[in-house]
Amino acid sequence: MKSTAWASTCASRVATPSATLRERPGVLVGGRIGARFTKESLNTMDLTKTYPRSVREEFAGVVMLARATDKGRAFAEGKNGEYNYNCPMDQAVFGFLGIDKDVYLAKLKQLDDAKLEQWVKETYVSRKSAAEIAQWNAAFLQRSPEKGSDSEAYFVNLRNQVAPGRTDVTTWPDLLDLDEKRPVPVRA
């Protein structure tokens, strides 16, 4: 599945690609970089100090939703930094599930991750078959810029800043993971 600019407006660094997240260290909490919550801060997220979860991390069985949740929590606290809640990537997952961004934002302000995930499963995921979810997840993780587009030029420019020589990285999820210092296997 191809996409032109859906990822390029998800962070304000798009306007200034030289300001990549590689300049900001991840925060080690609970044994992993970017871990979300402690008992003291169940529903808070400060994306000026850490990264959101990976696009690949499933929430209620759906990729990208954990990341959208983190960005929504940070947005609600005014601590989203360069991350934009309801960017085109968020809109894609919300659209697939039929979630209204404002309803989701209100719920994530009220519920911790476990209760929010249960609500999403009961209210939205239950309307989809396991095959639909698996197909959507696989397609979403393969999204890349359209060949010859402005989006591809932006993608290549950012990839060259984040990981020079990693021409095997061709999808937005891989590029975001590299930018946020997550390991991305070398592909043939």
Domain presence at residue 187: no
Q: Which structural domain range is residue 18 located in?
A: 2-179
Q: What is the reported pLDDT for 44?
A: 80
Q: pTM for the whole thing?
A: 0.81
Percent of the chain with pLDDT over 70: 77
Domain presence at residue 110: yes
Angle at 72 between CA 51 and CA 96, to 5 degrees: 105
Domain presence at residue 185: no
Domain presence at residue 184: no
Q: What is the reported pLDDT for 82?
A: 94
Domain presence at residue 29: yes
Q: What is the reported pLDDT for 6?
A: 47
Interacting residues of 93 by C-beta distance below 8 A, sequence separation 6+: 62, 63, 64, 65, 68, 99, 140
**Number of domain units in the chain:** 1
Residue 78 and residue 99: Cα distance in Å, rounded? 22
pLDDT band at residue 50 under the 50/70/90 scheme: very high
Residue 186 and residue 188: Cα distance in Å, rounded? 7
Domain presence at residue 21: yes
Domain presence at residue 6: yes
Residue 8 and residue 100: Cα distance in Å, rounded? 22
Domain presence at residue 155: yes
